[in-house]
Amino acid sequence: MDVAAAAGVVGGFLQVVFDKYYGSKLEQWAARSGLHGDFLSLKNQLHMVRAMLEAGGGGNAPHNDSLRSLIVELKSAAYAADNVLDEMEYYRLKELVEDTSGRDGGAPSSSARQVVGRILVPAPLLSNPFKRARTGADEALQGQGADTDTPNFDQDAMSSKIKSISCCLEQIAGMVRRIIELDKLVSMASLGHVQPEVVVSLRQTSSFPTETKLFGRDESTNNIINLMLRTDMESRYNNFNVLPIVGIGGVGKTALAQSVYNHQRVVDSFQVRAWACVSDTLDVRRVIADLIDSIDGGQETPKFHRVPSLDATQRTLLTKIEGKRFLIVLDDVWVSSHWEKLCGPFSAGMSGSMVLVTTRQRKIAKAMGTFDSLTLHGLHDNEFWAFFLQCTNITEDHSLARIGRKIALKLYGNPLAAKTMGRFLSENHEEEHWCKFLNRNIWELKQEPDDVMPVLLLSYQHLPLSLQRCFTYCAIFPRGYKFTEQELIFAWMAQGLVPTPGEDQTLEDVGKEYLNELLSCSFFHIIESGHYTIPGLLHDLAQLVAEGEFQATNGKFPISVEACHLYISHSDHARDMGLCHPLDCSGIQMKRRIQKNSWAGLLHLKNLRTIMFSASSSIWSPGSEVVFVQSNWPSTIRLLSLPCTFRKEQLAAVSSFIHLRYLDLRWSRLEELPEAVCKLYLLQVLNIKHCPCLLHLPPRIANLLNFEHLIADEGKHLLTGVPCVGNMTSLLLLDKFCVRKTRGFDIGQLKRLRNLRGLLKVQNLENVDGNEEAANARLSDKRHLTELWLSWSAGSCVQEPSEQYHVLEGLAPHSNVSCLHITGYRGSTTPSWLASNLSLSSLEYLYLDYCSELEILPPLGLLPHLRKLHIVNMHALRRIGSEFYSSGQVVGFPCLEGLFIETMPELEDWNVDDSNVFPSLTSLTVEDCPKLSRIPSFLWSRENKYWFPKLGKINIKYCPELVLSEALLIPRLPWLLDIDIQIWGQTVINLRGGCLEVSEINANTSSGPINAVLQLHWLKHVSSFHIWAQDSLSVHPCKQKTEPSACNSEYMVNSLQTSAEKVEVTGYGITDELLSAILENEICPSSLSISDCPQITSLDLSPLRSLKSLVIHNCVSLRKLFDRQYFTALRDLEVTNASSFAEAWSELLGSRYAEWGQVTTSLESLTVDSTLFLNSPLCAVLTSLKKLTIHSDFRVTSLSRQQVQALLLNLSARSWVYTMLQSTFSSQ
């Protein structure tokens, strides 16, 4: 990293340090502790240094070794300043907890002892019922003082430390300032006191290919060209589309664009082609001028006496592309500002024109592109190896190929990296020379501006300083390490890399924005299961800019003295550093071992801020060694990751890390945490995920006032068992709180947790005494809560219903709550805030469950954004009336999509006169309502409107009175896709996956059989239709629109058409009249199956104009067929166990043989079970038949000569014949 970049990083870090404590309670505490002057002096020095770096350490900072060394020292001093401010904040919080001085950082309070009562966890709650025998390890650690109290505040020592740091900052800043000023004087003298113009150096590219052959991009080239040449594409721009190519530097975006630009198909298809390299800034006038030059070839550009205006350049470009199909390439785009000005003239082109954009940033591609961006990755192994051979001037069989393969693997398929490395390797084809580069990282090589690392460094330098610091931190991870979003963001937070957020944001929110920004700029890749990784060369870039501060040990290199962040990847490396000790040795042995080795590994790392152990470095097995945290490690550690911890004694000394903010103990076998954790007053995050043995937290953990996140396994509500959790005023997530009649577990603990967000479940509300105590929870102040559960224990009779009403009235949530559950409430009326569209203006999901005494539903239809409503287990509710919907002209439930009414044993009536409700409902479920006999009319209203216009799913189960009392209606709903109506566990009507099944069930009750009215013409999404009737099923056709009153309460249907492809009719109860009614609904299927219908005597196909396939099975009474026209249009016919069908068919074709010669059929496949079909007149009309199948006719042992002749007459050589007779027959 050059001096300017280093100075920028230091300045940015100082800003973070300054912002962290400026204007906070820390200054008040410093004044009260006798450190006010020292604190102000340090703050002023931080101001001065930051201002000096911003003014004199920018892009023109001198590049010399002396200044570079001073910047490094300045960074060390900045770390020291951050440390001392952290220490002050630690002692301020410690004082609050221990009540040694005052309250909340303000002036001393005369009622300090009352504060103790509120902040300290009550002593009786601290007794541990689990007594454990001390081991030799415990005694050894006690001997080391590992479990001693945290350090006490020493005002004189702290004052001295602050003064020393301020003085150091002042001295180093003074020297840096003098060097910068001297350099400026020398520069001015050498230039004759004339300040030179600043020349912006732009990276330039052109349309001429730089490579003779493009490796591994043939498929991408063809895909781009095929997309560009399409003419049927829509675009948000007039007449042109934009295709972005995205990828990291050096991956070959420009080379790919050049290949496409010069491809012959492209040259032939676009009348105008132009190329412009946009580079760092999108200067609209310059880019348009470059496009004009590219079109003219630099020969016809007008000579302006002055710089042409933007208007002039735009008009010139417009005249050159107007009415023509053009291809414009905008290479190396870094910003999208002024994009609208640039593309203004493009609309003058012909439809089908194309703009090709190359960029490193996904957000640029999203802003400009009309297509999904093409993301370019490194070359595949074979293509990259071929390119590498070309760059190094060797062949596959060269003696250096073996070493070359290993070097190529370190370049991750990046073509520019291959060219950079190839330049070094091709200089000398000696094995010794190549081995030197095999053992070196590419970022360690001195490179030209156009080589791979300087090109990648451009991406880094374009990032804001805040993102530069966050990306640099990723150098701590080993190459190829997979990390989660939460893991990385919490690490950034622990290091202070995320600035203090605004009022409506958390540090985590800002961290997510940073991660998404880096992802957009291709610094991260998303891989499986929500994990991220850093591309290989960008990991090298992180190592380059980190300059030794971050180190992942691999056993090959010693740890740098400058290392601030350490990742230990294997237990062998931990042991070599003196960090591992045997767990199963005696106390004396362990004491000696610790005394001998504990300083060896980390003592020299003065600024150590992170130490991460991988799971493989800390996992324990019998006879192995484990990591013990030692009090003599640098106390500056902010992040400690020690997964697979086996014993709490390993963490006994952790309290000495007073700066610690993130403690990661994933995959540990701990049964309890040591009390030392409760003294980490700056701790923000504790990760105990996948710790199955850890079932409770130490009670004193509530004293961590800075604590924000407990990461644990889902369903493991460990904070529920912590008394006085209300002391953790920074807590962001508390998914469950159980109210108890015990000190420290009252509902008032929620009062000060104003920053809670996401989900909060408040249980055991029967332990709340009245409205005043409930209101003390201050739920209405918690603006970041989005999901709230309020529940009383099942079967609890502690409170009277009226008392429960007052409790619920006091638990009014903030209007930002989007999901609300109320369970076990026994009041007879709902609270006032539940009936107000203002109180719950953001509510989208509402669940009312086991509200057993509720007799009237509130006007929930007034809730403007409610999407899902569940009303379950209300045993006192008998009627749902108009009060449920809305009042006046207000649309009831304007956004409701799902309505679920379940387990309502007393509900009898659900109706309303107004139809101005449920305009958005898509799913309706009514279950287990045995007395419900009426629901809102599906079909009609006074204004000829219908209910539920968007309903796509209906489920009605276990509602016998509703199903049996009157005609069951399937409404005229064009969006209906899913129907499930059941009674006594049997399906009556089912529609799923396009298949409609209607089954009649003999109820054998006093109510009579089921009477289902099917409006088949409205079921637009039915592709298969099956009707089964054993006893009685009503289907009523109607050709005229009829009001309900004119149809004797049986709603008829209109003659419209549905999309059903297949209809199946089955059952003893199907009669001629019922079959006619079904078919006259004009459902127009292409396939009809009638089976097991012994009552059917006739069949008329005239309503089925689209019928192509007919199956008739087990219809023994069928003797009459109607409408010869539609029978002769059939292509597939199957008739089995219908003995009179052949005779009926013959009669249909014509009463006299002479008429049969005038009839032809389209039948291609015939399947029968009787040879009666093989008579000469019938076969004579089967002119299109290709397949004949005769199934098992037991009555026939042979065919007559006439039958054989008739068969051969029609089935010529071009036809296929399949016979499957049960018995063998011979021609007579």
Taking only the tens place, the pLDDT of each residue in 700-723 is 999 999 999 999 999 899 999 999
Q: Is 90 exceeded by the pLDDT of residue 1134? A: yes
Q: What residues contact 296, with CB distance under 8 A and at least 6 apart?
A: 320
In this prediction, residues 867-890 reach a mean pLDDT of: 87
User: Is the CB of residue 940 less than 8 Å from the CB of residue 1022?
Assistant: no
Greater model confidence, 1186 or 198 = 1186
The pTM score is: 0.79
Q: Is 80 exceeded by the pLDDT of residue 1220? A: no
39 found inside a domain: yes
pLDDT tier for residue 1022 given thresholds of 50, 70 and 90:
low
Q: What is the pLDDT of residue 947?
A: 63
27 found inside a domain: yes
Region of poorest pLDDT, from 771-775, 805-809, 911-915, 1056-1060? 1056-1060
Residues 387 and 368 in one domain: no
User: Is the CB of residue 747 less than 8 Å from the CB of residue 762?
Assistant: yes
In this prediction, residues 177-201 reach a mean pLDDT of: 58
pLDDT tier for residue 1187 given thresholds of 50, 70 and 90:
confident
- Within 10 angstroms of residue 1042's Cβ, the number of other Cβ atoms is 14
371 found inside a domain: yes
Residue type, 907: L
Q: What residues contact 502, with CB distance under 8 A and at least 6 apart?
A: none
1205 found inside a domain: yes
Highest mean pLDDT among 560-564, 642-646, 868-872, 981-985: 868-872
Q: What is the pLDDT of residue 405?
A: 93
As given in the structure block, the two tokens for residue 140 are: 């050894």
pLDDT tier for residue 231 given thresholds of 50, 70 and 90:
confident
- Strands 525-526 and 531-533, by their bridges, are antiparallel
User: Is the CB of residue 491 less than 8 Å from the CB of residue 664?
Assistant: no
Torsion sign (Cα): 1116, 1121, 1124, 1130: negative
Q: What is the pLDDT of residue 659?
A: 95
Per-residue pLDDT of 1102-1119, as tens digits, reads 888 788 999 999 999 999
Residue in this structure with the two tokens 């102040």, named with its chain if needed: 781
Q: Is 60 exceeded by the pLDDT of residue 979? A: yes
Residues 113 and 12 in one domain: yes
Residues 313 and 399 in one domain: no
Percentage above 70 pLDDT, the chain = 74
Q: Is 50 exceeded by the pLDDT of residue 117? A: no
**Helical (H) or strand (E) element with 612:** strand 610-613
Highest mean pLDDT among 147-156, 998-1007, 1039-1048: 147-156
Residue-averaged pLDDT of the chain: 79
Region of poorest pLDDT, from 883-892, 1134-1143, 1209-1218? 1209-1218
Residues 254 and 364 in one domain: yes
Domain end among 318, 351, 375: 375
Region of poorest pLDDT, from 218-227, 608-617, 1155-1164? 1155-1164
Task: Name the residue range of residue 87's domain.
Answer: 3-125+133-144+153-190
In this prediction, residues 600-625 reach a mean pLDDT of: 68
Residues 435 and 456 in one domain: no
Report helix, strand or coil for 249. coil
Instruction: Give counts: helices (H), strands (E), the chain.
Output: 35, 43
Residues 178 and 258 in one domain: no
Greater model confidence, 1051 or 792 = 792
In a 13 Å sphere around the CA of 489, the CA atoms on its Cβ side amount to 18
Region of poorest pLDDT, from 554-563, 714-723, 857-866? 554-563
User: Is the CB of residue 809 less than 8 Å from the CB of residue 827?
Assistant: no
Torsion sign (Cα): 124, 129, 135, 141: negative
644 found inside a domain: no
pLDDT tier for residue 149 given thresholds of 50, 70 and 90:
low
As given in the structure block, the two tokens for residue 45 are: 């020095």
- The CATH number covering residue 494 comes to 1.10.10.10
Q: What is the pLDDT of residue 1139?
A: 86
Q: What is the pLDDT of residue 492?
A: 96
Domain end among 350, 375, 400: 375
Highest mean pLDDT among 94-103, 256-265, 592-601, 1061-1070: 256-265
pLDDT tier for residue 788 given thresholds of 50, 70 and 90:
very high
As given in the structure block, the two tokens for residue 225 are: 């060209």
Q: Is 80 exceeded by the pLDDT of residue 608? A: yes
Q: What is the pLDDT of residue 370?
A: 86
User: Is the CB of residue 722 less than 8 Å from the CB of residue 699?
Assistant: yes
- Within 10 angstroms of residue 671's Cβ, the number of other Cβ atoms is 15
Q: Domain total for the chain?
A: 5
Residues 1182 and 1138 in one domain: yes
Q: What is the pLDDT of residue 913?
A: 64
Q: Is 70 exceeded by the pLDDT of residue 929? A: yes
Residues 288 and 342 in one domain: yes
Domain end among 375, 404, 420: 375
Give the Cα separation of 957 and 971 in Å (integer): 17
Per-residue pLDDT of 482-521, as tens digits, reads 999 999 999 999 999 988 777 778 899 999 999 999 999 8
pLDDT tier for residue 677 given thresholds of 50, 70 and 90:
very high
Greater model confidence, 225 or 1147 = 225
Residues 350 and 234 in one domain: yes
Residues 279 and 390 in one domain: no
1228 found inside a domain: yes
677 found inside a domain: no
As given in the structure block, the two tokens for residue 155 are: 């005002």
- The CATH number covering residue 299 comes to 3.40.50.300
pLDDT tier for residue 210 given thresholds of 50, 70 and 90:
confident
Give the Cα separation of 678 and 704 in Å (integer): 7
- Strands 1012-1014 and 240-246, by their bridges, are unpaired
Largest distance between two CA atoms of the chain: 127
526 found inside a domain: yes
User: Each residue of 706-745: b (16+ CB within 10 Å) or e?
Assistant: bbbbbbbeeebbbbbebbbbbbbeebbbbbebbbeeeebb
Residues 1210 and 1228 in one domain: yes
Greater model confidence, 906 or 583 = 906
Residues 343 and 357 in one domain: yes
**Helical (H) or strand (E) element with 807:** helix 801-809
Q: Is 70 exceeded by the pLDDT of residue 57? A: no
Greater model confidence, 291 or 1020 = 291
In a 13 Å sphere around the CA of 273, the CA atoms on its Cβ side amount to 18
